Structure 1
Amino acid sequence: MDRKEWNVYLSPEIDNCDRFDLCGPYASCNIDDSPACECLKGFEPTLPNQWKVVDWDQGCRHRTPLDCGTGEGFNKFSNVKLPDTQGSRFKQTWTLEKCERT
């Protein structure tokens, strides 16, 4: 019988960390860790109870409000893969505030 259809016989392993926004804002994903998501330095889960049930959608928030005081600044992260933004688009006329509201 001559059937004209596709049959999957091999598929690549899927890296869950490749899923867009898996861990939410201010979090990182590591496929070698369990759970895979953790908050970046200086951040904590926005909804801790949701993190306990492996729901990271809301991501993380600052532990303390920023006031640009001593000891605050940027953190350097190594060996991380940033999101693929090749197909991203933005409106050049928007201000940062307009972007945050949208």
Structure 2
Amino acid sequence: MKDLLKFLKAQTKTEEFDAIKIALASPDMIRSWSFGEVKKPETINYRTFKPERDGLFCARIFGPVKDYECLCGKYKRLKHRGVICEKCGVEVT
């Protein structure tokens, strides 16, 4: 048992850093990360429970609700990863 503990302690590797720098992102950098713009105050449709288009939970802006499936259900499964649906405009991720 002691040999096992010695072996495990020998495997741990620690890295030391002299300094870490943290800075705020510039407005131009934040704009380059964005995918769309929220244009409506609506969140979800009360009948279908799906996010409203251009709303606060828009699937086009923030990604699909379900993994590897677009909002309308036209593209499902992993084989369609990266495809943008023509009907709902959501990228399958």
Going by fraction, where is helix more abundant, 1 or 2? Answer: 2
More strand by share: 1
Higher relative CO (Cα under 8 Å, sequence separation at least 6) belongs to: 1
TM-score, normalization: structure 2? Answer: 0.21
Q: Which has the larger radius of gyration?
A: 2
